Amino acid sequence: MSQSRLHKPYYRNGENHRGGADVNFVDILNVFGFSSANVGKWVTSHEQQLAANLIFDSFCDLQDILQVPPQVISLNGSLSLAFGTGGQKNTCAHYNSQTKTLALAKNAGGGALAHEWFHAFDHYICQRMFSQPPHRGFASSTWLEKHAVIAHPLNHLLSDFFSTLFLSDDGKKGSSYLQCSVRLDKHLKQFYYARPEELSARAFEAVIQHHSIKNHFLVKGTKQSQEAQLGIYPDGEYLNRLSQLTLTYFNWLGQAITAKSPTK
């Protein structure tokens, strides 16, 4: 029997957040404040251990990249985790907007965490960005539908990110990134790559992989994969612009949350 993908080495160059020690899913809940963590009954104790270490390191690296406090990773305690249960067939990771659960498959999941986390963030922030958001809506698609944005510097910055993502510089047509995804969908006779939620999540994971902190369990495949060769990820100077907007947004968000936190 072949080993699961959990056993393969995942490159990372971030800090040694665990100090060489093992962690478990309870530690992940306590550090980041997730609502809950559900592990499938077919996951062995050894697989749980491997997964917990990989997921913990990935969330720590994501926190370092975004420069945010740990509660941002759990979306202020609203996000649940599932490992080896609650996913979708033939997918390595999935975000369920109804249950607000980020689920990773036992034998997959590696490299997809950043993408699915942004789906969760996109869903979470929608209710806080728009004055009359749709029920269970995503900020990316809601922005494209031209809903009124609540006046706030963070919301304006996120609007700039969506504008850069979806529109040309003059705002009169779709961005090259969007147009490439539309062409690919037409070729494949589907509507997937050009969905605003997917465009946003792919852009986010490209930004994360573009950062100097590398973690292949968190994100992989935005540069050299077959999909990347098709042009479904932003690159070049365009990626640099998106990176600046993304990292500035989360840096400001982190500063705002830290400023509000009571001092000990």
* Whether 221 contacts 235, CB under 8 Å: no
* Whether 55 contacts 29, CB under 8 Å: no
CA dihedral sign, ordered 153, 140, 143, 196: positive
Q: How far apart are CA 232 and CA 3, in angstroms?
A: 31
Phi (first) and psi of residue 66, to 5 degrees: -85, -15
Q: What percent of the chain has pLDDT over 70?
A: 93
**Res 2 pLDDT > 50:** no
Tokens representing 164 are 């850069």
Mean pLDDT of the region 209-231 = 94
Report angle CA 65, 70, 74 to the nearest 5 degrees.
105
Q: Determine whether 189 is exposed, middle or buried from the number of CB atoms within 10 Å of its CB (0-12, 13-18, 19+).
A: exposed
pLDDT of residue 7: 61
**pLDDT tens digit string along 78-88?**
999 999 885 55
| Mean pLDDT of the chain, nearest integer | 92
At 184, is the pLDDT very low, low, confident or very high (cuts 50, 70, 90)? Answer: very high
* Whether 134 contacts 143, CB under 8 Å: no
Mean pLDDT of the region 158-186 = 96
Mean pLDDT of the region 29-40 = 96
pTM for the full predicted model: 0.94
Mean pLDDT of the region 23-48 = 94
Mean pLDDT of the region 163-171 = 95
pLDDT of residue 6: 58
